[in-house]
């Protein structure tokens, strides 16, 4: 609603001067008439102010109504999106059938991994969509990540439709020294954890650090664990050094979003007759003097009086996507 233009207020003439008898009567009459006219004009201005206030209130009410309408429309859109999402999820409820001809855009789920895939090219085939990145693209994600556990060095080729991965790298554990004097358990491997963008079809290099080899000669120092790593053309190296035999120091992670140093292990004083467990890695305790093997990258136990102590545990490279 447009604002109402207020009327003007006419200026008063010069007021009469009571001390000037020669002009008082002449000026008093027109001045009093002008005051009466001004009163009417002031009343008109007041009416205009009130009308504009009512107009402003109407505009506020209208704006509030428009906000309410917009909110309702947003809720409706959200409900429509939920309906569409539900429709999309049910659209993939038909299983893929080997040898059937599919059009581009057809959606089927894999009987192998139960994930949903969309057809990229028209045609038929006998390869399940989960293994056929040429003709199918994955639409849904597993509720539990796919996990690849690498216990030996090698490589990993990123699957189709995967663009992000979590990499856990753990170095190898060391083996402990032998003998009856003061000695340590062996140190565990460090850990690096990284979240990286990866490229479908790209191959990444994996190195798994070996555990320090056992020593079989009395009063002989143990062996350090090896360094583990993961890297590729678009992923700078993520690595974790192995544990240390001398002094039981832990390995160090580097290149990850989270880099962890393994906790150093303990020392048994000279002549104490005590055995010492190996250092703990990200995956738990090291080897136990009573024969427990410990987790990936755990250090070897220092067994009192033994001429042979166990080897350190190998490291590991784990990929989740």
> Is the domain of 163 the same as that of 282?
yes
Indicate whether 48 pLDDT > 50. yes
Q: How far, in Å, CA of 226 to CA of 128, rounded?
A: 39
> Is the domain of 219 the same as that of 289?
yes
Average the pLDDT over each of 70-74, 172-176, 310-314 and give the range with the smallest value.
Answer: 70-74
> Is the domain of 57 the same as that of 46?
yes
Tokens of 253: 């992670």
Tokens of 303: 């067994």
Report yes or no on 9 lying in a domain. no
> Is the domain of 155 the same as that of 76?
no
Instruction: Compute the average pLDDT of residues 25-33.
Output: 72
> Is the domain of 154 the same as that of 297?
yes
> Is the domain of 157 the same as that of 196?
yes
> Is the domain of 199 the same as that of 161?
yes
Rounded to an integer, what is the distance from CA 148 to the centroid of its chain?
20
Report yes or no on 250 lying in a domain. yes
* Residue 306's pLDDT band (cuts 50, 70, 90): low
Report yes or no on 77 lying in a domain. yes
Report yes or no on 2 lying in a domain. no
Q: How far, in Å, CA of 141 to CA of 161, rounded?
A: 10
Q: How far, in Å, CA of 207 to CA of 169, rounded?
A: 9
Report yes or no on 222 lying in a domain. yes
Tokens of 300: 């070897």
pLDDT tens digit string along 104-155? 988 888 888 778 888 989 999 999 988 888 898 877 555 556 889 999 999 9
Report yes or no on 105 lying in a domain. yes
Report yes or no on 1 lying in a domain. no
Average the pLDDT over each of 35-44, 65-74, 160-169 and give the range with the smallest value.
Answer: 65-74
> Is the domain of 153 the same as that of 66?
no
Indicate whether 1 pLDDT > 60. no
pLDDT given for residue 197 in this prediction: 94
Half-sphere exposure of 294 (CA within 13 A, CB side): 36
Domain that holds residue 203: 145-321
Q: Taking phi first (over 0 means left), then psi (-120 to 50 degrees means alpha), and beta for anything else, what does residue 75 get? A: alpha
Per the structure, the count of domains in the chain is 3
pLDDT given for residue 33 in this prediction: 75
How many residues would you count in the chain?
321
> Is the domain of 167 the same as that of 129?
no
Indicate whether 301 pLDDT > 70. yes
pLDDT tens digit string along 278-294? 888 998 777 666 555 67
> Is the domain of 189 the same as that of 222?
yes
> Is the domain of 177 the same as that of 290?
yes
Please give the C-alpha separations between residue 187 and each of 14, 207, 247, in angstroms, as whole numbers. Answer: 105, 19, 8
> Is the domain of 222 the same as that of 262?
yes
Report yes or no on 106 lying in a domain. yes
Buried-exposed string 206-234: b where 16+ CB fall within 10 A, e elsewhere: bbbbbbbebbeeeebbbbbbbbbbbbbee
Long-range contacts from 52-61, C-beta under 8 angstroms, 24+ separation: 52/3, 52/4, 55/1, 55/2, 55/3, 55/4, 58/1, 59/1
């Amino acid at each position: 609603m447009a604002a109402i233009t207020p009327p003007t207020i006419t200026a008063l003439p010069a007021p009469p001067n009571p001390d000037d008898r020669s002009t008082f009567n002449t000026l008093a009459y027109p001045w009093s008439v002008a005051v009466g006219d001004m009163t009417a004009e002031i009343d008109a201005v007041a009416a205009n102010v009130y009308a504009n206030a009512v107009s402003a209130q109407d505009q506020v009410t209208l704006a509030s109504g428009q906000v309410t309408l917009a909110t309702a429309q947003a809720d409706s859109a959200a409900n429509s999106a939920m309906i569409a999402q539900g429709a999309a999820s049910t659209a993939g409820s038909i299983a893929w059938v080997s040898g059937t001809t599919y059009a581009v855009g057809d959606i089927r789920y894999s009987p192998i991994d139960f994930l949903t895939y969309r057809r990229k090219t028209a045609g038929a085939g006998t390869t399940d969509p989960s293994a056929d990145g040429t003709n199918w693209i994955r639409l849904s994600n597993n509720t539990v990540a796919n996990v690849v556990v690498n216990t030996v060095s090698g490589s990993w080729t990123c699957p189709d439709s995967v663009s992000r991965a979590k990499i856990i790298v753990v170095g190898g554990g060391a083996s402990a020294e032998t003998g009856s004097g003061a000695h340590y358990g062996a140190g565990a491997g460090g850990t690096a954890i990284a979240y990286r963008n990866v490229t479908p079809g790209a191959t990444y290099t994996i190195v798994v650090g070996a555990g320090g080899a056992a020593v079989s000669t009395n009063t002989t120092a143990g062996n350090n664990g090896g360094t583990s790593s993961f890297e590729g053309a678009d992923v700078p190296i993520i690595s974790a050094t192995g544990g240390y035999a001398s002094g039981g120091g832990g390995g160090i992670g580097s290149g990850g979003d989270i880099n962890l140093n393994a906790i150093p292990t303990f020392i048994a004083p000279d002549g104490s007759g005590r055995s010492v467990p190996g250092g703990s890695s990200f995956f738990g305790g090291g080897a136990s003097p009573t024969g427990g093997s410990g987790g990936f990258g755990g250090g070897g136990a220092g067994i009192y009086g033994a001429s042979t102590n166990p080897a350190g545990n190998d490291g590991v490279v784990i990929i989740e996507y």
